[in-house]
């Protein structure tokens, strides 16, 4: 009964490759997020989707493209991977956007991406 799941857990790939990370939540939440956590543990939001629509797109290279086929899924596709993309990527979800009454964000287990 995993609340927020991500696949794969580990991803090792060469520079220049294209890869995808999948995220699914079974909490019935409306909003989903992607965060990047670098080697210094800094947790930074990348994207936020509300009911399949993009609502936040932080300063992220356009090599990163999120896709939300339905409100339970938010996938992250990365083109032309670079060494600096190596990090742990966390998906998260919440009942509604932050200004609403249900704000807790539930995080997935993370995907450790290593670019060689």
Partner 1 sequence: GENVEQHPSTLSVQEGDSAVIKCTYSDSASNYFPWYKQELGKRPQLIIDIRSNVGEKKDQRIAVTLNKTAKHFSLHITETQPEDSAVYFCAAGYSTLTFGKGTMLLVSP
Q: Does 42 bind partner 1 (CB under 8 A)?
A: yes
Q: Does 64 bind partner 1 (CB under 8 A)?
A: no
Q: Does 56 bind partner 1 (CB under 8 A)?
A: yes
Could you say which of 7, 65, 95, 105 contacts partner 1 (CB under 8 A)? 105
Q: Does 72 bind partner 1 (CB under 8 A)?
A: no
In this structure, what are the phi and psi dihedrals at residue 85, rounded to the nearest 5 degrees? Answer: -80, -10
Q: Does 109 bind partner 1 (CB under 8 A)?
A: yes
Q: Does 111 bind partner 1 (CB under 8 A)?
A: no
Q: What is the DSSP string of 15-70?
A: TT--EEEEEEE-S--SEEEEEEE-TT--EEEEEEEETTEEEEE-S--TTEEEEEEE
CA-to-CA distance for 41 and 86, rounded, in angstroms? 12
Across the beta sheet with 64-70, what order do the strands follow? 4-7, 19-25, 73-78, 64-70
Q: Does 27 bind partner 1 (CB under 8 A)?
A: no
Least Å distance, CB 4 to partner 1, is: 8
* Chain positions contacting partner 1, by CB under 8 A: 40-45, 48, 55-56, 90, 97-99, 103-110
């Amino acid at each position: 009964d995993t609340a927020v799941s991500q696949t794969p857990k580990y991803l090792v790939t060469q520079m220049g490759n294209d890869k995808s990370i999948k995220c699914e939540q079974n909490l019935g939440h409306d909003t989903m997020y992607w965060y990047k956590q670098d080697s210094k543990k800094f947790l930074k939001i990348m994207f936020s989707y509300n009911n399949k629509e993009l609502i936040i797109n932080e300063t992220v290279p356009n090599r990163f493209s999120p896709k939300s086929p339905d409100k339970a899924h938010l996938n992250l596709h990365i083109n032309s991977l670079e060494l600096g993309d190596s990090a742990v990527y966390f998906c998260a979800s919440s009942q509604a956007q932050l200004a609403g009454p249900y704000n807790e964000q539930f995080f997935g287990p993370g995907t450790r991406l290593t670019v060689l």
